[in-house]
Structure 1
C-alpha cells in the first residue's frame, strides 16, 4: 500500500447522515470517495454478478456455510457456470478491491469494514457517525417516504445488520468508541458543520499532506 496516501473510513448508523458527511468531506478535501461503487468494482474484479454483492452488502447472517448460485461470467456470451460461493469469499473479493483502491490516491471509504481491511495503512483515520434517534428516524422518513413506525423499524434492522456484519469480520464492536479514532454525533452540529469539524480534524492531523 502506498504509505503516502491518506485513508479516511466512515462507519455510520443508518439515518445518521454519515454518507452525506463523507461526500462533503470528499468534496472539500478533494479525496476520492468509495461507497456503492465498490460493489461494481468487486463484481468486475471477481467476474461475478453485481447483484450478489448487493444482496450481501453489510448484511448479517454469516454462518460460513456455502450457498450455490448459477452465475454468468463477465464478458461471456450466454455462458453459465455453477459455483459454490460463501459470503466469506464475497467479502474477500470486496476487501481486495478496497485495498487496491486505497493504493491509488487519498480516499474516503463508507462502511464495509474498510477501517479493518485497511488497518495496516500508516495514514488511516477511522471515523464513526452517530445521531439522535429522533433525527435518524426523521431522515429515513423523508428518504423512504414512509411513516414514523416504518422508519423506526428500518433504522433498527439496518443497525442490526451493519453491526452483525462488522462484528463478525473485524472482531471489534460496531459503533463502539474503542473501534475507531473518532466518533461524532451529527445531531450536535448538523451535517454540514460536522463535515467542517471533521475536515479540520483531518487537516490538523495531516496538515502538510493536506497542503497547509
Structure 2
C-alpha cells in the first residue's frame, strides 16, 4: 500500500494552477482541496462558511476585529448580543487544523492557503509554485470573466498582492520566491498537461515512488 502523500500548489492568478492541480488529482485518483477547505473548516468549527470566505487568502491585519467571540463563548446563541467573529489568526488556525487532518488521513492535492507551510513537517509533501507569462494569464482571466485586458491586469495585480500578503503574514516566508518551494515552473512553457506531467515526474522522484 502506497504511503500517503500531499502535493501543495501555490499559484499566480491566471497561471492555470487550479487546472493543473485538477489534472494531477484525476491522474492519481485523489481529491483536490481548494475552496472545499472553506466548507470543511466551517463544519469543523460550527461557523458560517461566509466568515471563512471573507478571510480566504487575504492578509490578516485589519481584516477582522476580534470581538468577544466564538472561542470565549462557543455556545452563545443568537441572543448573545453580537455576531461572533473570530480574528483572522483564529480562522487560519481552524483551517490549518483541517488541512493537517485531511493530510493525515488521505493522499491529496492542496491549492493555496499556505498548505505548503502548514504541512512543512509532513514527511511526504511536495510543494510547487506555478506562474505563467502575463499574456497567458490575461487570456485565461479574460476567457473566464469576459473582462478587458486592462481589467485583467488590474485583477492580476490585486489578487496576487492579496495572496502574497496572506502567505507572507502567516508563514513568515516569501510567496512566489523559488527558495520557498521544492519546484517552481512556468505553465506557459509546457501548457497545463505538460506542467502536470512535469510535477508528477518530480513528485515521483522526490517521494521515491511510482505514480
- Corresponding residue of 1:85: 86
Contact 1:70 1:80 (C-alpha < 8 Å) held by counterparts: no
Runs of 4+ with >6 A deviation? none
| Change beyond 3 A, Cα 1:65–1:138 | closer
Q: Unpaired segments of 5 or more residues in structure 2? A: none
Cα distance in 2, alignment partners of residues 127 and 8 from structure 1: 7
Q: By how many angstroms is 1:176 displaced? A: 0.1
| Structure with a larger share of its residues in strand | 1
1:111 alignment partner in structure 2: 112
Structure 1: which 5+ runs fail to align?
A: none
| Residue 54 of structure 2 is aligned to residue 55 of structure 1 | yes
Q: Residue 182 of structure 1 corresponds to which residue in structure 2?
A: 183
Q: How far 1:84 sits from its partner (Å)?
A: 4.3
- Higher helix residue share: 2
Shift of 1:63: 4.2
Superimposed CA distance per residue, residues 135-156 of structure 1 (whole angstroms, 9 cap, x where no aligned partner)? 1011101101111011110110
Q: Structure 1 residue 66: deviation in Å? A: 2.7
For 2:133, the equivalent position in structure 1 comes to: 132
Contact 1:29 1:199 in 2 (8 A): no
CA distance in 1, matches of 2:16, 2:28: 18
TM normalised by structure 1 equals: 0.89
Match for residue 163 of structure 1? Answer: 164
How many residues align? The count is 203
Q: Following TM superposition, by how much is the alpha carbon of 1:104 offset from its aligned partner in structure 2, in angstroms?
A: 1.1
Aligned to 1:12: 11
CA–CA separation in structure 2 for the residues paired with 1:152 and 1:112: 23
TM-score w.r.t. length of structure 2:
0.89
